[in-house]
Amino acid sequence: MKRHLLGIIVAALVFFASNRSTELYRQYYAPFRPASNWRLDHFGKFHSRTYKSWDGHLLHLYCYTHDSEQEARDWFFENLSDATQVLERSHFLNERGEQVGDRAVAVFPPTSYRGQVSGVVLVKGANVYVLFGESLSRVLEFEKFPDIQRHNLTSR
């Protein structure tokens, strides 16, 4: 009987340790995984990608490429005017610390197809990037994710 009890305890410890190590791996080594990818030629050039965070939150990257830098800046400010709250405004810097655009952190109201979301809106040249999700902390973490850098957010 003691042997079976010891076996059950060891099995439970192995199960919980493996579950915790999987969670740590996802959090620190694979925090965001692509969930979908689609392209739509609408409103200038538009593309989007959805990611799933290690804890199950969905995060979205939208990129709008406009015909001119002025059109992109106008759309950036129009997008911010829709926000219920602008939490932060700053310059958008590249990896060398040079200003390449503008950046804003905002909270957007619910729509017919989603609830209230937090987002980071970036304008760089003729591109406007919108990163958004339910959790502000996840969105700010998502902004620094290497796959987002692949979208040429910080390099010229």
DSSP state of 8: H
Quote the pTM value: 0.71
**Integer Cα distance of 135 and 94 in angstroms:** 25
- What is the model's pLDDT at position 53? 85
Which architecture, in CATH terms, is 32-149? 3-Layer(aba) Sandwich (3.40)
In sequence order, which residues have a C-beta less than 8 Å from that of residue 138 and are 6 or more positions away? 53, 55, 57, 59
- What is the model's pLDDT at position 96? 81
In sequence order, which residues have a C-beta less than 8 Å from that of residue 82 and are 6 or more positions away? 108, 109
In sequence order, which residues have a C-beta less than 8 Å from that of residue 96 and are 6 or more positions away? none
- What is the model's pLDDT at position 41? 42
CA 27 to centroid of chain Cα atoms: 14
Both structure tokens of 122: 């970036």
- What is the model's pLDDT at position 154? 47
| Domain parsing of the chain, residue ranges | 1-30, 32-149
Block mean pLDDT (10 aa), the chain, length 156 = 71 63 54 64 68 85 89 92 93 83 93 86 91 90 73 50
- What is the model's pLDDT at position 40? 47
Query: Is the sign of the CA dihedral 69, 74, 75, 79 positive or negative?
Result: positive
